[in-house]
Amino acid sequence: MANESPATVPPADPATNVAAAAARADARRPESLNPAEWRRHRIAQGHMLVVRSHFKSIYLIPMAIISLLCGIWMSFAGGVEAVAATPQFDPASKVGLIYSLSFMFYMSMFMFEWSRTWTYVLLASLVSLVFLGTAVNSESFPVWQKLGELLAATRFKQSAPSYYFYGAFFGVCAAVSWIRTRLNYVVIEHNELEFNRNALFGDRERISLVNPRIEVRVPDMLEYFHPFFRAGQIIIHAPDRTLVLDNVLQIKAVERVLDRITGTLSVKVEKS
């Protein structure tokens, strides 16, 4: 009878071992493991959070996209002169008006801080103006007709190269903010915070988080309710210092991850 060979045990999957090790709250990175790979597993297990603070220029991404779309439309339409077919309906002017209103909206995110009180006052004022216009609107004083004629008479015209120029400029400004977040960011773990400065050159500082207090604040309602950004502010009160991280995107998702990190982290939400 032939001898039976012993059953071979398949080697353990290294990725599985790393994932199992990263699942422990107090786990430390093995010396032989790449830091980026360890961070990926720790984030997936909910024991690590990377928080990136942006410049205000990150809010120019929608304007860069709008500029590009307007430039493409003008290029295919044949230019400012070609689209001005009739004085009653000038597509180039309508595109220019939409672009100008978009520009005003996003510039307001830079110039003002839309607190909850200021936002409510502005909304109440707009509603009051609408009701007032409706109340006084009549044949002798056609408010909405005059307003429509005023908007129809606008001649905000720009050429395709102008839209492309502004799109490229806004895109470069937003790219600078994005690059900065890859060089300067904060990594939060259980009872420990790693502050990365110029990460390309490996400048790191570890800060103990023993009984910290973390505030998640929404100082600007426009930034918070914007569907692309949902931005807010995070203030970390460590034992020896306070770190303020402005313009953190998707702030509610960041808050949920902070809640999942066990330990002594506490989250306080304030909406000014």
- The pLDDT tens digits for 28-56 are 777 777 767 777 777 777 778 888 999 98
pLDDT beyond 60 at 193: yes
Instruction: Give a yes or no: residue 15 inside a domain.
Output: no
Which pTM does this prediction carry? 0.73
Specify the pLDDT at position 81.
Answer: 52
Q: Given a cut of 90, is residue 166 above it in pLDDT?
A: yes
Residue 64 lies in a domain: yes
Per the domain annotation, does 26 fall within a domain?
no
| pLDDT for the residue 265 | 45
Residue 7 counted as domain residue: no
In a domain, 215, yes or no: no
pLDDT tens-digit profile of 111-153? Answer: 888 887 878 888 888 888 888 878 777 777 777 777 777 776 7
At residue 93, does pLDDT exceed 90?
A: no
Residues 238-258: what's their mean pLDDT? 86
Res 196: pLDDT: 80
In this model, does residue 6 exceed pLDDT 60?
no
User: Is the Cα torsion angle 31, 34, 36, 40 positive or negative in sign?
Assistant: negative
Question: How many domains does the chain contain in total?
Answer: 1
Its domain, for residue 68, covers: 57-177
The residue-averaged pLDDT of 177-183 equals 88
- pLDDT reported for residue 260: 75
Residue 153 lies in a domain: yes
In a domain, 237, yes or no: no
Q: Which of 66-70, 230-234, 244-248, 258-262 shows the lowest mean pLDDT across its residues?
A: 258-262
Q: Which of 15-29, 91-105, 108-122, 228-242 has the lowest mean pLDDT?
A: 15-29
Name the residue with higher pLDDT: 23 or 82. Answer: 23
